[in-house]
Every structure is written in C-alpha cells, then in structure tokens.
Amino acid sequence: MTVKQIYTGCLAQGAYFIESNGEAAVIDPLREVSDYIELAKESNAKIKYIFETHFHADFISGHLTLAKETGASIIFGPEAKPGYNCVIAKDNQVFKIGSISISVIHTPGHTMESSCYLLKDENKKDYCLFTGDTLFLGDVGRPDLAQQSLNLSKYFLAGILYDSINNRIKPLSDDVLIYPAHGAGSSCGKNMMKQTVDTLGNQKIVNYALNGSLDRDGFIDELTNDLGKPPMYFPSNVKLNQDGYSDFNNVLEKNLKPISVEDFKALSINKDFVVLDVRNQDVFRLGFIPGSIFIGLNGKFAPWVGSILKNIHTKILVVCESGKETETITRLSRVGFDNVLGYLDGGFDSWKKSNEEIDYINSVSAYDLKEIINSDIDLLDVRRENERENGFLQNSLNIPLNIFESKIKILDKSRKYYIHCAGGYRSMIACSILKRMGFNSLFDIKGGFAQIRKSELEIV
C-alpha cells in the first residue's frame, strides 16, 4: 500500500495518490493531472477512483480531466449535485482499491456535500482519514463557503460542522493519521498548523474543535467570529468545479502566445485588460510597464491573483522572466483565470530595448526610515490584523492587502506613503495597485517588518 501526499505550497493544498495491488485512487487532484498519471505509471497501477471531498472554492480540481484520461470514476459524497456524470456515494459506502478500502463518511458543515474518506489497510484496520476542508490540523473549514444557491447561514453550517466532527471523526482511533486538503496559508480556514499530517490523537489535544474546550454554542461563536469575507473569486471556482471547465491542456494551448512589444503596448492601453507582472518584487521595482499590477510567482501567487483581480474572466497580459511562461499560465489556471491573451515576447528586456515608457517604485531601508520617521510621512502596513498583534510601527495605518482596494478611498494622493508588509512581497503588490490608481509618492520599505525589527525603530 502506498499513500503519497502531493503538496502545492502556493495554494497550501494537499492532493493524495493511493495505490494497492495495481489499483490506485486520487483525492482532490489539481487541475493539471500529469503528475497523477505519471505516479500510476511508476506504480504500474490503474487509477480506478477520483475522490472529491467537496466542491472546492479556492482552486480548480482536476477530476474531470483525470477521469477522461484514465476512465476512473469520480466520487462525491451525499448531497453533491454536479453537472456531469459521477458517483454520488452514500454515507458509509465502501470502495475497494486492491487489498485496501476507502469508506465514505459524510461530514457536512464546511459545505453540505463535504465528506471525509477513511482508508482501511490490508488488515482492515483504520489507517488514515482524508478530511478535505472539514478538519484541518489545528482548525476546521470555514462555514461560509457553501454554494450560494443553497442560502445557508454560516451559523447553521457551523453547528452542523460541530456535529460532524464530534459524532463522525472524534470517535475514531487516536492512531489514525489525518490528511487534510490544506495547511497554513490557505484562505479556507483561520489558524491552520504548518504541518501537513498528524495523528487524530494529537489533534484531540491541540485542536479546539476536538479537545472538548468548547460546547456547540461556543464552537459556533469561535468559528464565525472575525471570519472576514472570503476572496471574491471563490464562488466562481465553486461553480467551475460543480458545472465543469476546460481541460488544462486546452487552456495552455490557447494562452501560451508570445506578443510583440508593439502589439503588447496597443493592448495594454485598453483598460479592460490587466498587465500582470509576475517577476520578483526586487526586479519589478527597478522598472515595469506603467499600469502593471505586480503579483510575483515567488509568493502565494494564485490566491493573491484571485483576491486582487477577483473576476476570473479578467483579460490578462503577462510579463514574466524568460522560461516562466508555462508556469505562469499553469498557476493562473489553477484558480480559474483562463483568459490570458499572451505574454510579452522577450520579457521586460524587450520593452526596455524598444525605449518604451517605464515606471519605478522608490524604496527605502528600515535603517534609512529611522532618519525620516518623524517627518511629514504616512506609514502604511498591509499585513493582516493578527500579524500586528506581535508588533507594529507607531502611527502606522493598517489596511490588510486582502481588503486593500476597498479602502483606497481613505488615502490621499498628495501624501507620501511608506509601505510595508512582513517581508516585501505584499507591500509591492500594494504599491503597484496604488501606482495604477495615480498615487506617485510611494516608498516600499525593503524587507518589510522583518527588517524593521532588526533596525532601531521603535516597535509598539
């Protein structure tokens, strides 16, 4: 028996490949499915089942493409209503894979169709539980991401989730391994652990949802308090996962097109298009196409694209390093952004060589900031509120990046803004958004709060 976790850091997402005696199953695959097919070949196994824990909101799953390419059956739990042929399993239904089995445990709450999958080994012993977004390590799934058409309140779903966890998961043996769909950094929960696998026994100690510290009402309050709005692209991803989508290879073929500087310039003038620059933030600030939005491949790229651009139908023009074109389009497609018109042929160097207009972002070190901190400047912190609990610069204004555009109206274009996040990635995104909106007196604090801590600046 083989159980392999395929973890994608950008999405903080775990997919799973399971094999036994020449038969295999995949749980919650990503949209590009070649890795799972290759694993099956290496194992000399045939993929028999594709299990989906629920209709995902934060990424496009690869279940439809994988089923088409392998002939495997797609399995959803009870109450799922997809727009394509698949198996809607019954609660406790068992599926055989070689000499092992997977049982369906219906655990509604995160969504109504959410289900966990219990793997029993060759000796019929409970071995591991694939919990999807029902149970994370240290946390549980948000109760406000169910299909909008169901019109269910987050309080109602939180109560159902409490019942699911306590009645269906907690009674399992302490030595059962927990394999969740997400880890720290995902927007599908609030406070997930960095680890990606743990025993149920340890979760019964450290996870508030399992350790008995909260009754049902307390759990509902804890889960729904300070939840914040989910990213705006989530409902679109749910709909694609529920109704269907284009195969990744078709998207790649359509989007992977070089565009000359002349044509790129003509297209970029159209305000309906977004020039997305995915280079490193330190390279971006030294020169970029005016009006570009920066979201670098070196960070949580796909989730930030979804949060900043919001509409998956946005028409995108890509600026990237040479050789990064396929990676960029792949990672955009994972969150449903399939309308890439193409990429700048020759990258930003070709733009410079053509003597086209270039914009810049000023920067300042934390040590240099100390010399001007008391002058007429404005400090802007784009970290999350809970990050500021461990320290912040006095008189700094906090506008978290995930709600940044909705708060820009409170800023003044005549002021100087010195902007920071934790390390420099999110602050550069914020700078690019402000530049695009006509703010010109901007200074990125290099290295973010990590460097501020090392300086002599006073931290509150």
Please tell me whether the overall predicted TM-score, pTM, comes out greater than 0.85 for this model.
yes
The pLDDT value recorded for residue 371 is: 84
Q: Look at the block and give the residue holding tokens 């743990």.
A: 198
| Mean pLDDT value of segment 30-55 | 97
| Mean pLDDT value of segment 217-224 | 95
In a domain, 59, yes or no: yes
Q: Is 110 exposed, middle or buried (0-12, 13-18, 19+ CB in 10 A)?
A: buried
The DSSP symbol for 370 reads: H
User: 37 and 30 in contact (C-beta within 8 Å)?
Assistant: no
Domain boundary, last residue among 187, 202, 235:
235
Residue 75's DSSP bridge partners are 51, 87
Cα 240 from Cα 338, distance rounded (Å): 12
| Mean pLDDT value of segment 428-442 | 96
**How does residue 149 score in pLDDT terms, banded at 50, 70 and 90?**
low
AA identity, residue 391: G
Cα 59 from Cα 61, distance rounded (Å): 6
In a domain, 297, yes or no: yes
For 269-281, write each residue's pLDDT tens digit: 888 899 999 999 9
In a domain, 459, yes or no: no
**Whether 185 and 333 share a structural domain:** no
User: For the chain, what's the residue count?
Assistant: 460
Domain boundary, last residue among 212, 235, 258:
235
Cα 280 from Cα 285, distance rounded (Å): 9
Chain centroid to Cα 323, Å, comes to 23
In a domain, 121, yes or no: yes
What is the percentage of the chain residues whose pLDDT exceeds 70?
A: 100
Burial 27-56 (b: 16+ CB within 10 A, else e): bbbbbbbebbeebbeebebebbbbbbbbbb
**Whether 198 and 277 share a structural domain:** no
The pLDDT value recorded for residue 351 is: 97
CA atoms within 13 A on the CB side of 258: 11
68-71's contacts with Cβ under 8 Å and 24+ in sequence apart are 68/247, 69/33, 69/37, 70/37, 70/40, 70/46
- By three-state DSSP, how is residue 182 classified? strand
**Whether 56 and 194 share a structural domain:** yes
The pLDDT value recorded for residue 148 is: 67
In a domain, 46, yes or no: yes
Give how many domains the chain has, as a whole number: 3
**Whether 404 and 293 share a structural domain:** no
In a domain, 460, yes or no: no
In a domain, 340, yes or no: yes
CATH code, domain with 226 = 3.60.15.10
**Whether 45 and 106 share a structural domain:** yes
User: 295 and 401 in contact (C-beta within 8 Å)?
Assistant: no
Domain boundary, last residue among 210, 235, 260:
235
**Whether 255 and 323 share a structural domain:** yes
**Whether 231 and 285 share a structural domain:** no
Indicate the range of 83-87, 174-178, 200-204, 228-232 predicted with least confidence: 228-232
For 93-140, write each residue's pLDDT tens digit: 999 999 999 999 999 999 999 999 999 999 999 999 999 999 999 999
The pLDDT value recorded for residue 422 is: 96
The answer for 138, left when phi > 0, alpha when psi is -120 to 50, beta otherwise, is left
| Mean pLDDT value of segment 372-380 | 83
In a domain, 240, yes or no: no
- By three-state DSSP, how is residue 125 classified? coil
Mean pLDDT of the chain: 95
Which phi and psi (to 5°) does residue 454 adopt? -80, -15
CATH code, domain with 271 = 3.40.250.10
**Whether 132 and 261 share a structural domain:** no
Q: Is 105 exposed, middle or buried (0-12, 13-18, 19+ CB in 10 A)?
A: buried
Cα 12 from Cα 324, distance rounded (Å): 21
**Whether 134 and 220 share a structural domain:** yes
**Whether 146 and 279 share a structural domain:** no
Q: Hey, how many other C-beta atoms are within 10 angstroms of the C-beta on 285? A: 22
Q: Hey, how many other C-beta atoms are within 10 angstroms of the C-beta on 386? A: 11
The pLDDT value recorded for residue 196 is: 96
- Give me the sheet containing 315-319, strands edge to edge: 258-259, 340-344, 315-319, 273-277, 293-294
AA identity, residue 263: D
Cα 208 from Cα 223, distance rounded (Å): 10
**Whether 137 and 78 share a structural domain:** yes
The DSSP symbol for 373 reads: T
**Whether 155 and 34 share a structural domain:** yes
| Mean pLDDT value of segment 433-449 | 95
The pLDDT value recorded for residue 228 is: 77
Q: Provide the residue range defining the domain that includes 330.
A: 246-353
Cα 121 from Cα 128, distance rounded (Å): 9
Q: Hey, how many other C-beta atoms are within 10 angstroms of the C-beta on 121? A: 15
For 411-424, write each residue's pLDDT tens digit: 999 999 999 999 99
Cα 402 from Cα 399, distance rounded (Å): 8
Does residue 374 register a pLDDT over 80?
Answer: no
The pLDDT value recorded for residue 151 is: 81
The pLDDT value recorded for residue 259 is: 98
For 175-219, write each residue's pLDDT tens digit: 999 999 999 888 887 789 999 999 999 999 999 999 999 999 999
